[in-house]
Structure 1
Amino acid sequence: MTHAPTMNESQLSQPSIDAPAYPSAPSATPAPEPSIRPGNPMVPTDSTWVDQSGRPLGSRALKTRSRILDATIALLDEKPMRDLRVIDIARRIGSSPATFYQYFKDIEDVVLELAGQIQDLTPAMVEVIKGDWTGRAGHMRGRHLANLFIDHFAKYNSILRVRNNSAEENSPEFVAVRIQTMLPLLTAFSDLVREAHPISATPAIGEWTGGNIHPVMGAMILTAALEGLAMHHEKYAKRFAVEGEGPEQMVETMATLLQMLLT
């Protein structure tokens, strides 16, 4: 298993992906994310995929492996990972534990695979971040990004919950996959913050105009705010409905905060 990399500002300054430019229209919607929900599996087609014995997987084996992933997602919607057993997954696909162990070492192994697949779904968010944040169109971009996060967490809630909880408990494997997933977002944000709020090497002379916004810290704050909004927006909406504030106000405020830090 890979241990969590140490993240520093030099890493964040590197380009994250090579991808086509995001359309200039703020209402344009990036290509839909490939689904890994049950009933619409992501079936690997790379012939170099192997089982636990190192044997390449054929098309039938790839489909079986995908059924295990789908069953795990469905079961994580019903119970926490600590209560999930291999026999539960085997029964869900109408097979035996021996079949499971052909493809995965244990429950954590299959959940890490699912978390890794989600890692491949972030480029759409990165492309939104890389766009123009000025003016009304920039604010619309912020609303779009906030809704992308909310939709993403709603769609993959069970896997993201396990990934984040395990990372918070300092599981090296889950810490690593979480960092690898968030790093392209942090990179894109930090590049924009650095450009929008350059830090002078010498203190300003005259009237104080405010403190510095450091690129990496600004990027981490924005990413954490988006993730927190996406994970808890329903709870927040219920809690503050009495104040007359709900989902619309959360998205608008998030968009305004993004625009303030990125321009």
Structure 2
Amino acid sequence: MERQVYSGPMNNEPANGGESGPSDELAAEIDERAADGRMPGRRGLATRQRLLDATAEQLESCGYRDLKVVDIARTAGTSPATFYQYFPDAESAVLVQAAVLTEAWHEELQFLITGRDWSGDPDAAAHEVVDGFLTFWTDHRAILKVLDLASMEGDFRFRDLRTWLLNGATNALVDLVAAHDSDMDPKATAGVVIAMLAHVANHRPGLERWGADHDALVATVAGILRHAIVG
């Protein structure tokens, strides 16, 4: 089946990323080379990773636009001068950290769809997918908020990553719907379902504060998902 990119609920146009990974333009921006163009050695790569870990830690407590190089460097136990040997600015460090995590998360979300018994127990499969998606969004909210915010602002680099993050799960749903011979259009169904999952996951805290019970949210979305796949 032909693979196409779906960029998720924030965007209507396909982004540059595809099933094989982020675009060449983005890959060049997240290269491991230092600012002077040289490839860091083992110690340099370890320092770079400390800075990336510190970036992720800072994002847990401050907004993306409020992130400062001095705070990242302090958290990493190094200096701003050292930071600038690896990244030109705080946004670049966030981009690289998001790219590293998205690479792993792409497969995690894809397996969330494919690693289920859709034929034998579709109800349980749908519940596991929805619960897993909501948990995933909660666990990784800091980076995912950055992807959403920057995507809405039109930054193709973060939009590219967001596309890559969701595309594995989207294509897995396309295959599932097609395999079950339902009356639903596979691509339309997959696009709508992924948009719904991401939107509900994003707004789950507000929905629960509003009074929607967590288990009821899972059951409701799971029912829609089950119907979309097996009828």
Residue 133 of structure 1 pairs with residue 103 of structure 2: no
SS at match of 1:121: helix
* Root-mean-square deviation over aligned CA pairs: 2.4
CA-CA distance at 1:258 after TM superposition: 1.1
Residue 254 of structure 1 pairs with residue 209 of structure 2: no
Deviations 1:19-41 (A, max 9, x none): xxxxxxxxxxxxxxxxxxxxxxx
CA-CA distance at 1:124 after TM superposition: 3.0
Change in 2 beyond 3 A, CA 1:193/1:76: same
CA-CA distance at 1:180 after TM superposition: 1.4
Give percent identity, aligned residues only.
Answer: 31
**Aligned with 2:82 (options 82, 88, 99):** 99
**Aligned with 2:168 (options 149, 162, 184):** 184
User: 1:230, 1:10 → 2: CA distance?
Assistant: 25
Aligned residues: 206
User: 2:98, 2:163 → 1: CA distance?
Assistant: 11
SS at match of 1:11: coil
CA-CA distance at 1:52 after TM superposition: 2.1
**1:75-154 correspondence runs (5 A):** 75-119=58-102, 120-130=104-114, 131-134=116-119, 137-154=121-138
User: 2:113, 2:61 → 1: CA distance?
Assistant: 34
Residue 11 of structure 1 pairs with residue 4 of structure 2: yes
For 1:41, the equivalent position in structure 2 comes to none
Answer whether contact 2:113 2:129 (CA < 8 A) is retained.
yes
Higher helix proportion = 2
Answer whether contact 2:148 2:162 (CA < 8 A) is retained.
yes
User: 2:129, 2:200 → 1: CA distance?
Assistant: 11
For 2:55, the equivalent position in structure 1 comes to 72
CA-CA distance at 1:234 after TM superposition: 2.0
Q: Name the TM-score, length of structure 2 as normaliser.
A: 0.80
Deviations 1:127-165 (A, max 9, x none): 232243245x22111111112212211221111101111
**Aligned with 1:227 (options 193, 198, 216):** 198
The runs of 5 or more residues in structure 1 that have no matched partner are 1-8, 18-47, 199-211
Change in 2 beyond 3 A, CA 1:106/1:12: closer
Find the structure with the greater CA-based Rg. Answer: 1
Answer whether contact 1:16 1:188 (CA < 8 A) is retained.
no
CA-CA distance at 1:16 after TM superposition: 5.5
Q: Name the TM-score, length of structure 1 as normaliser.
A: 0.71
User: 1:248, 1:176 → 2: CA distance?
Assistant: 32
Change in 2 beyond 3 A, CA 1:256/1:175: same
For 1:6, the equivalent position in structure 2 comes to none
Question: Which amino acid in structure 1 is aligned with residue 187 of structure 2?
Answer: V
**Aligned with 1:175 (options 159, 183, 207):** 159
SS at match of 1:122: helix
CA-CA distance at 1:100 after TM superposition: 0.8
Question: Which amino acid in structure 2 is aligned with residue 67 of structure 1?
Answer: R
Question: Which amino acid in structure 1 is aligned with residue 171 of structure 2?
Answer: T
